[in-house]
Amino acid sequence: MIVEALIHLVKVLLVIGFVMNVAGLLTWVERKQSAVMQDRIGANRADIFGFRLIGLFHPIADGLKMITKEDFIPPGGNRFLHTMAPFAAFFPALIAFAIIPFGDVLRVGGRIIPLQVVDFNVGVLYLLAVGGMSVYGVVLAGWSSNNKYSLLGGLRASAQLISYEITLGLSIIGVLMVFQTLQLSEINRLQGELLFGFIPKWGVVVQPLAFLLFFTAAVAESRRIPFDQPESESEIIGYFTEYSGMKWGMFMFADFIETVTVAGVATSVFFGGWQVPYLFADGFHFPWGSIVALPHLAVILLQVASFVFKVLFFCWLLMTIRWTLPRFRYDQVMRLGWKYLLPLSLFNILATGVVILALQAL
């Protein structure tokens, strides 16, 4: 029992360390990538003993600044809810990653260690349930601040969640119909199969429309540009107008953690998760018949590296979208969600069902 508890603790610390460090690095990536796209230098002033390290010390400086800033609560606000709102936004974004597998199983002696913090047989439902909870922090922040602009941002966030959470769930249903399971670890394993003997059976291959719908809805769920209506700095400033210091920092950090989580879910559901094309438990099996045997540890390292690379790629893609597209108007956001994405997600389910029945009839 003690060994099992230690193994779980190590996995929890690894996942939290990975998510928190990537999210912290994204605060630097966002500024540096925008600088490159806009032909600027970007963040490069913070230094330690004269070493600037291309601006990598800025996240540390930001953290120290937010920790030492005054914690202001509006006189007319609700002190308890104003304090709890950042935690309500931060916590669901972090625990959602617990269900995402970052490798298959590690065999050490006679012990089998699943490379996943928690393996629910209803893992997809867990993701959708936890992902929808983060809006509570945003709505509470807007209401408890006793500021009409903050309240408007919170109301926008709730309306946006309702509009895109439906599409987010419906887009994944097509994948569930293909793989016949809600368990993320099993979905990852099934994506290691080959179609026609040489095409990896990744979710994006069998459900390309579902991936486009999911990715669009996920960007809207994370409230990032072009779907940053709850913030809209140039219009209403946002639901965190009356926040300062580390409470404001928790809202900002929650956004970056949601970016990492969206990248992890997209990787796990649509891009094979930890799968490497033609890599099996004993090594590479290529379609033309060649086999390259690999030790178990090498296979596990390749799987984990594959997962990390895909997550980082989607983080980069989300940052690129954030600095490329302009903000939609609020009515455009609602119209896109209800009049286009929702009907397309329903059509995708219908088309998937028809194709599955046709293949079963053959």
Mapping DSSP onto H, E and C, the string for 253-296 reads: HHHHHHHHHHHHHHHHHHCCCCCCCCEECCEEECCCCCEEECCH
Does 234 or 159 have the greater pLDDT score? 159
What's the pLDDT at 236? Answer: 62
Please report, rounded to a whole number, the percentage of residues in the chain having pLDDT higher than 90.
Answer: 27
pTM score? 0.91
Quote the DSSP letter at residue 239: T
- Phi and psi, residue 11, nearest 5°: -65, -40
What does the mean pLDDT of the chain come to? 87
How far apart CA 154 and CA 85 sit, in angstroms, is 11
Q: Under DSSP, is residue 195 helix (H, G, I), strand (E, B) or coil?
A: strand
Across 100-114, 139-153, 344-358, the highest mean pLDDT is recorded for 344-358
Query: What are the pLDDT digits (tens) for 210-250?
Result: 999 999 998 888 777 788 777 776 676 677 788 888 888 88
**Is the predicted pLDDT of residue 207 greater than 80, yes or no?**
yes
Please count the other Cβ atoms lying within 10 Å of the Cβ belonging to residue 331: 8
Q: For 105-156, give the DSSP string.
A: EEEETTEEEESSS---TTHHHHHHHHHTTHHHHHHHHHHHTT-HHHHHHHHH
Three-class DSSP category at 39: coil
Structure-block tokens of residue 80:
């308890």
Contact at 8 Å (CB) between 61 and 27? no
Residue 309 makes CB contacts below 8 A (sequence gap 6+) with: none
What are the extents of the domains in the chain? 74-361
Question: pLDDT tens, 74-92?
Answer: 888 888 888 888 888 888 8
Which pLDDT belongs to residue 160? 85
Q: Report pLDDT digits (tens) over 28-45.
A: 888 888 888 888 887 888
Checking if the pLDDT of 198 tops 90, the result is no
- 353 or 50, greater pLDDT: 353
Residue 256 predicted with pLDDT over 70: yes
Looking at the predicted structure, is the pLDDT value of residue 186 above 80? yes
What pLDDT sits at residue 104? 87
pLDDT for the residue numbered 47? 82
Whether residue 137 is predicted with pLDDT greater than 70 in this model: the reply is yes
Amino acid at 303: Q
Pairing of strands 199-200, 194-195: antiparallel
Whether the Cβ atoms of residue 302 and residue 274 lie closer than 8 Å to each other: no
Per the CB < 8 A criterion, the answer to whether 35 and 44 are in contact is: no
d(CA 280, CA 269): 19
The mean pLDDT value for 166-192 works out to: 91
